[in-house]
Structure 1
Amino acid sequence: MERLQKVIAYAGVASRRKAEQLITEGKVKVNGKVVRELGTKVSNSDTIEVEGVKLEKEDKVYFLLYKPKGYISAVTDDKGRKTVVDIFKKRVPERIFPVGRLDYETTGLLLLTNDGEFSYQLTHPKFKIDKTYVARVKGVPTIEGLKKLQRGIKLEDGKTAPAKVSMTSFDEKAGKAICEITIHEGRNRQVRRMFEAIGTPVVKLKRERFAFLDLGSLKPGEYRQLTKHEVKQLRVLAETGRLD
């Protein structure tokens, strides 16, 4: 017997958090009856429907995408904007979804999968998976400003965890700089809000690395499947905090 939200996540329909939301909203049926209790357990013999669609087990798939600008990190969008899943349509039959998010204007490394448990392990702050970004900012950050980011800075939704930050280049006359920042949280527009908080708003943002993964030779809009070894190493990193 497994918890219903875990089964839904493993089936690739949604992350565990999203599965819990679907359950509480009454969008999940077990053996024809709506279930709203998050503690509900099910077996392999139970018939599960999510939003009217019967749950079918899929092979787990894992992709690394170079997200281009102008796509949202979602499966669908009620405003009709392009989503990262659109890039995979007609080529990937599995129901994949993004692991975490990059905002509409941000480019770079984004993982997609149909494995909800895997997604949970890589996005929940308690697992402390590093994500590294390169930010072009307006203005030149002060040493004290960078130290604030390194210590953790207060935002409207609370203080951020300590970050690794360095300024790789700057042009004081032109009033611009390039910084590299590594965080393990994933709040909405977090990196942009952090730099805004020290008075140097982000002009351009790209995620360069996720844990030990990088973009390699991929170009914007291109993707590749993760190797079995990479998937295993990501699981090990989330579970132990280190690589084998």
Structure 2
Amino acid sequence: MRLNQYISSSGFCSRRQAERYITAEKVLVNGKIASHAYLVEENDQVEVDGHLIAHTSEDVYIMLNKPSGITCTASPAIAGNIIDFISYPERIFPVGRLDKETEGLILLTNDGSIVNALMKEENQQEKEYVVTVDKKITGTFIEDLSNGVDIYNPRIKGYTTTNPCPVTQIDDYTFRMTLSQGLNRQIRRMCRRFQYTVTHLQRVRIKHIELGSLESGHWRYLTEEEIAGLK
């Protein structure tokens, strides 16, 4: 097994983060700095930044209905982090993130192989949200959102036009939106472009996995069918 895959499948971090550790020469195999090309064998001892990696063959897949106020990071230095909140007995990490004030569906796992499949923008994985704003919705507002909006993108230090997306009004102040992008605070920025402020934001679906009736702050294991759809 490749070194980055071995580290990510242990639940220590994602595969991308493992690659960063390797590049920074913070990964030792049997006491020696290891390269990206190293293939881990059965009796190898792997350390990442001073932490001994214990590989597990059992993958864990969890969905959480994240409440507002929880930060989607595995860093123990951040108060209110999602790992402390869920308090799972094995090492897991969140797949992607929701803003601290955003609620709803987020996945956690120890399987680094699914992270790239879900997070790479070119894979165009759908994520559905229910959005509440501070004033009455107009037909023009719904149409403008669905056609794409110019918002500032700090990654490129310029403006990006969001992809066209389905937007359906639910009532005077609430609508559903399905995105295939993952721009920073995208929905809030899109609404602000038309002088609307988001007052409540909840993710209700990732790809084929739906939040359903799972209560806020609660979690469950994914079903076999849901796991199969991620791979």
TM-score normalised per structure 1 = 0.83
Task: State the identity as a percent.
Answer: 37
The one-letter code of the counterpart of 2:47 is E
Residues 136 and 179, structure 1, Cα contact 8 Å, conserved in 2: yes
Residues 113 and 119, structure 1, Cα contact 8 Å, conserved in 2: no
Structure 1 distance, partners of 2:127, 2:5, is 25
Structure 2 distance, partners of 1:124, 1:140, is 34
- The equivalent of 1:239 in structure 2 is none
- The equivalent of 1:13 in structure 2 is 12
The one-letter code of the counterpart of 1:44 is E
Q: Does 1:68 align with 2:70?
A: no
Q: How does 1:20-99 map to 2 (within 5 A)?
A: 20-35=19-34, 39-45=36-42, 46-58=44-56, 59-76=58-75, 78=77, 80-89=78-87, 92-99=88-95
- The equivalent of 1:240 in structure 2 is none
Structure 1 distance, partners of 2:145, 2:4, is 36
The one-letter code of the counterpart of 2:64 is L
Structure 2 distance, partners of 1:148, 1:9, is 41
Range with greater deviation from structure 2 (98-107 or 180-189): 180-189
Displacement of 1:142 in angstroms is 4.2
The one-letter code of the counterpart of 1:162 is P
Displacement of 1:123 in angstroms is 1.6
Structure 1 distance, partners of 2:164, 2:122, is 14
Q: Which runs of 5+ in 2 are unaligned?
A: 154-159
- The equivalent of 2:135 in structure 1 is 139
Q: Which runs of 5+ in 1 are unaligned?
A: 171-176, 236-244
Structure 2 distance, partners of 1:201, 1:22, is 39
- The equivalent of 1:114 in structure 2 is 110
With over 3 angstroms needed to count, the CA separation of the structure-2 counterparts of 1:154 and 1:24, relative to structure 1, is farther
Displacement of 1:206 in angstroms is 0.7
Displacement of 1:20 in angstroms is 2.1
SS at match of 1:103: coil
Q: Does 1:150 align with 2:146?
A: yes
Structure 1 segments, 4+ long, off by >3 Å, are 140-145
Structure 2 distance, partners of 1:232, 1:100, is 19
- The equivalent of 2:165 in structure 1 is 163
Displacement of 1:32 in angstroms is 1.7
Aligned length: 223
CA RMSD of aligned residues (A): 1.9
Displacement of 1:147 in angstroms is 2.9
Structure 2 distance, partners of 1:7, 1:147, is 46
Displacement of 1:219 in angstroms is 1.1
